[in-house]
Amino acid sequence: MTIALNSTPAARSRWIAAAPLSNRGITEMIAGPVFRGAGKRWWIAVLLTLPFVLWTLVALIWLLTQGIGAWGVNTTIVWGFAIANYVWWIAIGSGGTLISSILVLTRQNWRTSVNRFAESMTLFAVAISGIFPIIHLGRPAYFYWMAPYPNTMSIWPQWRSALVWDFWAILSYLIFSIVFLYVGLLPDLATMRDRATRRSAQVLYGVFALGWRGSVRHWRLYKRLHVTLAAIAVPLVTSVHSIVGLDFAASLMPGWQESIFPPYFVIGALFSGFAMVLLLTALVRWGLQLEAIITIAHFDAMAKIILTGSILMTYSYATEWFLAWYGGEHADRSLIAFMFTGHYAALYWALLFCNCLLPQALWFPAIRRNVPALFAIVLLILVGMWLERILIIWNTLSHDYMPTLWRVFRTTFWDWSFLFGPLGVFAFCFLLFIRLVPAVSIYETRRLAYEEGLE
C-alpha cells in the first residue's frame, strides 16, 4: 500500500529528489508517519526528552517555592540565564517566522519543504521564551501588572519601560505565531480529516479543518490571507527583536546603551533562527526519511543565509568595538577591554569563533552541501549565540560604572536546569507535534512538485 519514495540523484529538480512523484505519493509520504505510528526513532527520542520535561518541572517548582535566589544572580549582576534564555529562544522562534514569511514574500518556493516545522518551531520557542520573563520576576505571581487592566489601584503600566513593550511584543508574537501556523495548516488538516480512518481522528481533524473543502474560493481567500499574514510577519519579527534589543539599549549602561542594538538583535535572531531551522531540518529529514523532498539544495540555500548572518553579526560586533573607542567614554572602553581580557574572555573568544570565524567555512560549497558538517557548524552557532546573549548581560553588569561592586556571576545547578531543561521540553513538544500533524506542508509540496514539472 505504501508508496516508497526513494531519493534518486538523477531527479531533474533542485528541490525534490525523487521522480516520478504523484500527488498521492507526496501525501502518502508526508501524512504516512502520522497515521502509521511512530516508529522506533520517535519513541527513543521521546524517552530521551521526557526526563528533561520532568527536570524542568522540578526546577520550576523549586524556583517558585524558594525564590530566584536559587539562581546565580547577585546584587550587581541582577540578570542572568533567564534573560539570556529568553532572548535566545525568542530569536530561535523568529527564524521560523522569517523563513515562512520572507521566503513567501520573495517567492522562494523551496521553503515549502521546511516551513511547516519551522513555524511549529517558532510556536514552541516563543512559548518557552515567554515563560522566562515571568519566572525571572522576583514576584512572578504579579506578572500581569505589566498589562493595562482596570484595577483598584487605578494604576497602569509604566509605558516608558522597555519591559512593557516587551510584554506586548512577546504576547503579540505568540498570538501571531499560533495564527500563522494554524492558517498554514488548514488545507493539510482537511487532507488529514479525509484520510483518517478512525472516527476520533476524523472528528478532531475535522473540527480544526474548519470545514475546508478545497474549493476555488477557499483557495483564493486562503492565498490572500496567507500572504497578508506573511506581510505582517516581517515587520512584527523586526519589531519584536528591536524591542528585545531595546531592553538593553534603552538603558544607561556601558555596552548596552547603543543605537545599533535593535537591528543587531534582528540580525542575531535571523542568524540563530536559521541555524536552528537547519538543525531541525537535518534531524527531521533523517528521522522521518524525507530525503526525497528535503534536498541538499535546501541546506545549501539555508547555509548561504547563515553565512550572510554571520557577516552581519561580525559587522555589528566590530561597530561596538569601534564606537567604544571612538566615543572615548572611559566606562565603554574599559568594558571592551574587559570583554577581551576579563573574567569571561574565554567565553567571548569562543563566541567570536562560533559566530564570526566558523561560519566562514560556508563560503565553500562542499561544506554547504555536507549535512554532518553543517550540523556541527549550526550547533556551534547556536552555542555562540547563547554565549552572546549571556555575555551581553554578564559583561556589562560585571563591569559597569562602579568598580567597587564589580563581581562575577556564579552559576548554580538551577541556572543550568533552566538552560538544558527547556531544550528537552522544546524537543518533546516538537515530537508530539509531528505525530499529530504533517511535518511538511502537503499541499505546498504537491504544488512545488507540479511547478518543478515532476508530475
Partner 1 sequence: MSQMSAPAGSKTLAPGCFTRREALGLLAAQMAISLGACSKPVEEIVPYVEMPEQLVPGVPLKYATALPLAGYGRGVIVSSVDGRPIKIEGNPRHPASRGSTDAFAEAEILSLYDPDRSKAVLHAGEIASWEAFEQALLPVRQRAQDRNGAGLWLVTGRITSPTLARQVDAFCKTYPQARWCAHEPTDIAAEREGAVLAFGREVSTRPQLDRAAIILSLDADPLGPGPEQIRNGRDYALHRLPNNGFVSRMYAIASAPSLTAAKADHRIALHPDLIAEAAIAVANGLGAGLRRPNLPEHADRFVQAAITDMKSERGRAIVLPGPSLSAETYALVHWINHELGASVEYFEPIDGLPDHTAGTLTDLARDLDGGKVDTLFLIGVNPAFDAPADLELAERIRRAKFSVHASGYADETAQISAWHLPLSHTLESWSDIRATDASASIVQPLIQPLYATRTMHEVIALFATGTRARSYDILRETWRASGGADFDGWWMRALHDGVIADTSAGKLTNLQPQLPRIADAKTVSQAPHLAIVLQPDPCIFDGRFSNNAWLQELPKPLTKQVWGNALALGSDEAHKRNLGEGDVVKIEANGRTIEAPVVITKGHADGVASLTLGYGRKSAGMIGTGVGTNGFALRQSDSPWLIRDAQVTRTGRSEEILKAQNIVGRPEDVDTLFPIVAAQKVSDGKNPPLQTGADLPSLLPTRPLPDDGHAWAMVIDSAACIGCNACVIACQAENNVPVVGPEEIRQGRQMHWLRIDVYHHGTAGEADLGFQPVPCMHCEEAPCEPVCPVAASVHDSEGLNVQVYNRCIGTRFCEANCPYKVRRFNFFGYADGQEYANLGLESYKAQKNPEVTVRARGVMEKCTYCVQRISGARRAAERENRPIGADEVTTACQDACPTRAITFGDLHRSDALVNRLKRDPRHYALLGHLGTRPRTTYLAEIRNRDSDLDKEPS
Q: Please tell me whether the peptide bond between 20 and the residue prior to it is cis, using omega within 30 degrees of 0.
A: yes
Considering just the CA atoms, what is the radius of gyration of the chain in Å?
A: 23
Nearer to partner 1, 31 or 77 (CB): 77
First to last CA, the chain: 20
Shortest distance (Å) from residue 67 CB to partner 1: 5
Shortest distance (Å) from residue 425 CB to partner 1: 24
The maximal CA–CA distance of the chain, rounded, in angstroms, is: 74
DSSP line for 308-356: HHHHHHHHHHHHHHHHHHHH--HHHHHHHHHHHHSTTHHHHHHHHIIII
Shortest distance (Å) from residue 351 CB to partner 1: 21
Triad 271, 277, 282: Cα angle to 5°:
130
Shortest distance (Å) from residue 124 CB to partner 1: 25
Nearest to 320 by CA among 373, 368, 256, 381: 256
Nearer to partner 1, 73 or 181 (CB): 73
Triad 282, 285, 289: Cα angle to 5°:
150
Cα–Cα distance between 117 and 438 in angstroms, integer? 9
Shortest distance (Å) from residue 140 CB to partner 1: 8
Nearer to partner 1, 20 or 327 (CB): 327
Nearer to partner 1, 97 or 398 (CB): 398
**CA neighbours within 13 Å on the CB side: how many for 274?**
27
Shortest distance (Å) from residue 346 CB to partner 1: 20
Nearest to 322 by CA among 258, 249, 237, 405: 258
Nearer to partner 1, 1 or 252 (CB): 252
CB-based contact 42:287 (threshold 8 Å):
yes
Q: For residue 154, report the phi and psi dihedrals to the nearest 5 degrees.
A: 50, 45
Nearer to partner 1, 370 or 412 (CB): 412
Q: Residue 69 has which C-alpha cell?
A: 535566589
Shortest distance (Å) from residue 319 CB to partner 1: 22
- DSSP, collapsed to helix, strand or coil, labels residue 75 as coil
- DSSP, collapsed to helix, strand or coil, labels residue 47 as helix
Residues in contact with partner 1 by the rule CB under 8 A: 66-69, 72-79, 136-140, 142-143, 145-146, 153, 155-158, 160-164, 167, 250-253, 330, 334, 397, 400-410
- For residue 410, count other CB atoms closer than 10 A to its CB: 12
Nearer to partner 1, 161 or 172 (CB): 161
Shortest distance (Å) from residue 333 CB to partner 1: 9
Shortest distance (Å) from residue 155 CB to partner 1: 6
**What residues contact residue 366 under an 8 Å CB cut-off, 6+ apart?**
none
Nearer to partner 1, 223 or 410 (CB): 410
Nearer to partner 1, 142 or 326 (CB): 142
Nearer to partner 1, 227 or 405 (CB): 405
CB-based contact 377:359 (threshold 8 Å):
yes
Shortest distance (Å) from residue 96 CB to partner 1: 27
Cα–Cα distance between 428 and 117 in angstroms, integer? 14
Q: Residue 284 has which C-alpha cell?
A: 527531521
Burial of 297 (0-12, 13-18, 19+ CB in 10 A): middle
Nearer to partner 1, 31 or 84 (CB): 84
Nearer to partner 1, 162 or 383 (CB): 162
Shortest distance (Å) from residue 75 CB to partner 1: 5
Cα–Cα distance between 289 and 450 in angstroms, integer? 21
Cα–Cα distance between 187 and 448 in angstroms, integer? 15
Shortest distance (Å) from residue 259 CB to partner 1: 15
